[in-house]
């Protein structure tokens, strides 16, 4: 697969950057695609076309915007099998899971956002004011590699529904689904300039896009370090930002909780996508007297996480996305062990002959002073920490700079809820409750700014405008 074009103003045209970025199959370790990077001139053209299309698109009747988004969903569905295969190759998630999580879920989200937009309050009366929700303007969407189509969808679909025009820059490590989305948008017949696609690294193309004076908002998902940089650049021009950044989420197990269920679910969350999930529960916080039972459960359950070829239906744990990510995760594990942590699992486990694998690893004896207790690993590594008393457990759960997600396990939902209310996390699951795609998603602290998903995701791209009217207006008009 060799892509030399970019998609600007409804037209595929050669990208004019000087580099070609390779895309590596995370299992075979071989290049399977290359993409020509965009130049600063390409970015400028994309932004100017988005600006030119903004007035007409933002005034397009909502029903027409909804219909356009639904057509995109239909076009994506036609590419579902190919999307599953290519995302699996890029990211390393087993294709069986990728087809469901990386493809089916985001395609469904395009339709779900369309339905939510129809029910949103776009205009309301507040006293003698008419308050309208209007498009924030031209939006730069910069997305990560770990859930590429999902993260693109959570930005582009609600932005389009809000009446914004979009320039998308996907991760250069997993860009294929973005180009396939552009094909779907072309097939859906969106007006020229409403959606534009550029390609390249964050340090060149991303910075040019963020700095562009005609970009009104940046919606970014990625590392906290990159988020800081984007926020600083945006602050120079007082641009609006939405940042979904890192996490170090805790699973807090209370006395009397179902320990087996808690450990199983926590491992499942931690190891999903080989740990390459920002909201993964990577810290298991347990009463001190449960340590031996947790160790036994972890040893038993981790054996079921078979590593191997992501295309094999029997594989449960695929490789990481790159050699660099593999080395980073292994170094963090080694540092933790050197600092006094103990490997319960993951030591001397034979790895597949190829692929950027890290064995599913559980560490106990971890203390709050260790960096692995507070730093995001982004690999299949769970740390187990003990506490004495519920107040100490709550303090441990809240004891990082992040606040994206958490889980509380209690003897009853009521007991767990009482503790869940005290956690500084954007999402808190109680006793294994399922993920809710229409609830707001985002975090506290260094986990970011703003919320995605559901109506909250659409509102992220809207600005309220208050129009004060004489009281007599409302006597003759219905609002």
- pLDDT tens for 414-469 read 999 999 999 999 999 999 999 999 999 999 999 999 999 999 999 999 999 999 99
Q: How many CB atoms lie within 10 A of CB 390?
A: 17
Q: Is residue 379 in a domain? A: yes
> Catalytic residues, which ones?
244, 278
Q: In the structure, what pLDDT confidence band is assigned to residue 102 with cuts at 50, 70 and 90?
A: very high
Task: Report the pLDDT value the prediction gives residue 478, as an integer from 0 to 100.
Answer: 60
Q: Is residue 469 in a domain? A: no
| Domain boundary, last residue among 396, 411, 430 | 430
Mean pLDDT rounded to a whole number for the chain? 97
Same domain, 222 and 343: no
Same domain, 289 and 412: yes
Same domain, 197 and 317: no
| Domain boundary, last residue among 245, 261, 282 | 245
Task: Report the pLDDT value the prediction gives residue 386, as an integer from 0 to 100.
Answer: 98
Same domain, 241 and 258: no
CATH number of domain containing 196 = 3.40.605.10
Q: In the structure, what pLDDT confidence band is assigned to residue 320 with cuts at 50, 70 and 90?
A: very high
Same domain, 185 and 278: no
List of residues 6+ apart from 145 with CB closer than 8 A = 90, 91, 171, 173, 174, 321
Q: Tell me the C-alpha distance between 94 and 13, whole Å.
A: 34
Same domain, 300 and 204: no
Task: Dihedral sign for Cα 91, 96, 97, 98, please.
Answer: positive
Q: Tell me the C-alpha distance between 294 and 286, whole Å.
A: 8
Same domain, 259 and 394: yes
Same domain, 215 and 142: yes
Task: Dihedral sign for Cα 324, 329, 333, 338, please.
Answer: positive
Task: Report the pLDDT value the prediction gives residue 39, as an integer from 0 to 100.
Answer: 98
Same domain, 254 and 214: no
Q: Is residue 326 in a domain? A: yes
Q: Is residue 272 in a domain? A: yes
pTM, two decimals, is: 0.96
Q: Is residue 372 in a domain? A: yes
Q: Is residue 479 in a domain? A: no
| Domain boundary, last residue among 245, 266, 292 | 245
Total number of domains constituting the chain: 2
pLDDT above 80 for 59: yes
Same domain, 161 and 230: yes
Range of the domain at 76: 2-245
Q: Is residue 52 in a domain? A: yes
Q: 238 exposed, middle or buried (CB, 10 Å; 0-12, 13-18, 19+)?
A: exposed
User: H-type helices in 189-322, by residue range?
Assistant: 207-211, 224-236, 259-271, 291-302
Residue tagged 């053209």 (tokens):
45
Q: Is residue 216 in a domain? A: yes
């Amino acid at each position: 697969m060799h892509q030399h074009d970019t998609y600007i103003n409804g037209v595929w045209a050669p990208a004019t950057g000087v580099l070609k970025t390779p895309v590596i199959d995370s299992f075979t370790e071989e290049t399977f695609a290359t993409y020509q990077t965009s130049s600063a001139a390409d970015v400028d053209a994309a932004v100017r076309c988005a600006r030119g299309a903004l007035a007409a698109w933002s005034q397009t009747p909502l029903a027409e915007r909804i219909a356009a988004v639904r057509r995109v969903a239909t076009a994506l569905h036609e590419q579902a099998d190919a999307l599953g295969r290519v995302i699996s190759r890029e990211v390393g998630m087993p294709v069986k899971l990728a087809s469901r999580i990386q493809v089916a879920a985001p395609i469904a989200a395009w339709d779900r956002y369309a339905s939510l937009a129809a029910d949103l309050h776009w205009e309301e009366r507040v006293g003698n004011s008419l308050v309208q929700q209007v498009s924030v303007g031209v939006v730069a969407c910069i997305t990560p590699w770990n859930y590429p189509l999902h993260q693109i969808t959570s930005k582009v679909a609600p932005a389009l529904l809000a009446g914004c025009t979009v320039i998308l820059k996907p991760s250069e490590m997993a860009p294929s689904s973005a180009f396939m989305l552009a094909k779907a948008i072309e097939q859906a017949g969106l007006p020229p300039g409403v959606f534009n696609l550029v390609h390249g690294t964050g340090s060149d193309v991303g910075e040019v896009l963020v700095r562009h004076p005609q970009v009104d908002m940046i919606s970014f998902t990625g590392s906290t370090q990159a988020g800081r940089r984007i926020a600083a650049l945006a602050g120079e021009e007082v641009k609006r930002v939405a940042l979904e950044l890192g996490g170090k989420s805790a699973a807090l197990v209370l006395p009397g909780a179902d320990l087996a269920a808690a450990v199983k679910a926590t491992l499942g969350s931690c190891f999903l996508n080989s740990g390459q999930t920002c909201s993964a529960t990577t810290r298991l916080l347990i009463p001190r007297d449960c340590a031996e039972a947790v160790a036994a459960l972890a040893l038993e359950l981790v054996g079921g996480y078979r590593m191997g070829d992501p295309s094999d239906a029997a594989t449960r744990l695929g490789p990481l996305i790159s050699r660099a990510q593999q080395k980073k995760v292994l170094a963090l594990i080694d540092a933790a062990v050197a600092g006094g942590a103990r490997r319960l699992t993951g030591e001397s486990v034979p790895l597949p002959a190829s692929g950027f694998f890290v064995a599913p690893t559980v560490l106990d004896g971890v203390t709050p002073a260790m960096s692995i207790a507070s730093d995001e690993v982004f690999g299949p590594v769970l740390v187990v920490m003990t506490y004495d008393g519920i107040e100490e457990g709550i303090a441990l759960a809240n004891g990082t700079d992040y606040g994206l997600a958490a889980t509380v396990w209690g003897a009853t939902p009521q007991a767990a809820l009482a503790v869940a209310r005290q956690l500084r996390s954007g999402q808190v699951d109680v006793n294994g409750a399922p993920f809710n795609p229409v609830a707001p998603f985002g975090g506290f602290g260094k986990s970011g700014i703003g919320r995605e998903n559901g109506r909250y995701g659409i509102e992220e791209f809207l600005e309220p405008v208050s129009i004060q009217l004489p009281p007599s207006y409302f006597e003759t008009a219905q609002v």
